[in-house]
Each structure stands twice: as structure tokens, then as C-alpha cells.
Amino acid sequence: MEPMKLGILLLHGFTSSFDTVNGLLPHLEAAGLPYRMPSLRGHNQESPAALKGVTYRDWIADGEGALSDLLGEVDQAIVVGLSMGGLVALLLGTEQPDRLTGIVSVAAAMRLCDPLAPLSPYIGWLFPRFPSPQPPRGENYISTNYPWFPGTAGSELFKFGQLVEARLGRVQTPILVLGSERDTVVKPEAARIIYERVRSAEKQLQMFDRTGHEMMQGSEKDAVFAAIMGFIAQRRAVLEQAPDPSVSPPAH
């Protein structure tokens, strides 16, 4: 009997370039895992102005589309999401639990540090540009993210975080939650809240204390990759032992 095949959906964050997550790709390729790494609406364009008019529903739709494409090749998927991508991953966990064998939430953007964030739905349209966060002192990578973002897009991110927080109790998929105590973009408490409120029977929380928000680029990236790949290996082992639901048992 052929073992069930696993694939990985890898999702970047708000204003992020692929550089924020593509450090995981060599690890996935070495493990022989098919993957998709879509560009979420408004990102990886010449100008941050591409985010104007984009809504969180567009980011969800892009995640759903990439997952559907991946599931055309594999039997089950694990969604690995950074920041805004972590929100998409958590939401997908409420929509397609039968096809997801795991979720990895990396610094999911559920509670933002910016004190103006709660006001963004009311004042976001007043600000054509907000500066994007920069790497904290001590990190040795160069950010290729957008240098700024439209206020309306920031408002969509805040609303998305609220939506996902309200739905955490619907998540039952096995999950690994990663966060950083030094995150200056997302409050460290967000990772703990996710871990506490999801209803997954199998859940893990790992907090880092030296890296910043860009956990796959920062000073502890190797440990972050090791944690992610360890979780993937665990879920893969479980999946390979499970019977293929598409194969009928022999008649007696």
C-alpha cells in the first residue's frame, strides 16, 4: 500500500518578500516534500501601492487557491505561515481540517504592537503611507520587504487578526506555535493565546528569546527551521502509518 503523500503550503507575511520564508525551501527539498509558496495579493510587486484596495479576503482566497492546487498533487498538507501568513494558516485550519495534517503558526499577526493598530479601521484611509518595521538592532540580514504600506492595507491586517482570534476555538488540527519574546511587531502574548485557545489535541508552543519578528531570517533561524522540520517529520510519520482512505479494504 502506498503511503499517503504530504505537501507543504508556505505563506509569507504582510509587506513581506519571499526572502522572509524561502530559507525553509532547501529543507523541504532535502526532505522530498512538494510545496507551494504563493504570493499573497498585493505583494512582491514593484511598489507597495499594489496593496491599495486589497482586503484580507483576497489573502484568504490566495491561500485557498494555492492549497487547492497543492492538494491536487498530495493527499494531505501542512500549512506553514509567517505573520499574516500565520493568520491565513489558522483560518485554513478551520475550513479544511480533513485535508490538513498540521499547522505551523510563526509569529502570527494576531495582536500588533503598534498602539495605533486598533484605530486603523477608522483612520487608515487618512494615511496614504505607514513605514514598515525594520530589522531590530543586532540582526544581520537586509530586509527586502516593502518599505511602507497603505493605511487601508494596515487596517485590513488588523481586522484579519481580530477575525482569526475569534475563530481560534474552531482549530482542531495538530499545531506548532512559534513566537519570539523580542518581537516588536506582534505582541509575544499572541503566540500564547493561540496555543491556549485552539482545540487541537496535539499542540506545541515554542518561544524564542533572541530573534525578532522575521523568525526565518533572524539570529535563531536555524533553530526555527529545525523546530518546523521536526514538527513536519512527526506529522509525516503519522501520515505514512495511516491507511489511505481512497483505498477500500479487501472483501472477506
Per-residue pLDDT, 96: 86
pLDDT at 11 over 80: yes
pLDDT number for residue 124: 67
CA distance 34 to 4: 13
pLDDT value, residue 135: 87
Q: Determine contact, residues 75/3, Cβ cutoff 8 Å.
A: no
What is the third-level CATH fold of 6-241? Rossmann fold (3.40.50)
- Quick check: 13 pLDDT over 70? yes
Q: What is the pTM of this model?
A: 0.93
Provide the pLDDT for residue 137: 80
What pLDDT, on a 0 to 100 scale, did the predictor assign at position 129? 86
Mean pLDDT of 125-136: 82
Burial 10-38 (b: 16+ CB within 10 A, else e): bbbbbbbbbbbbebbeeebeeeebebbbb
Q: What's residue 252's pLDDT?
A: 46
pLDDT digits (tens, 9 = 90+) for 45-63: 999 999 999 999 999 999 9
Residue-range domain boundaries for the chain:
6-241
- Among 128, 175, 179, which Cα is nearest to 153's? 128
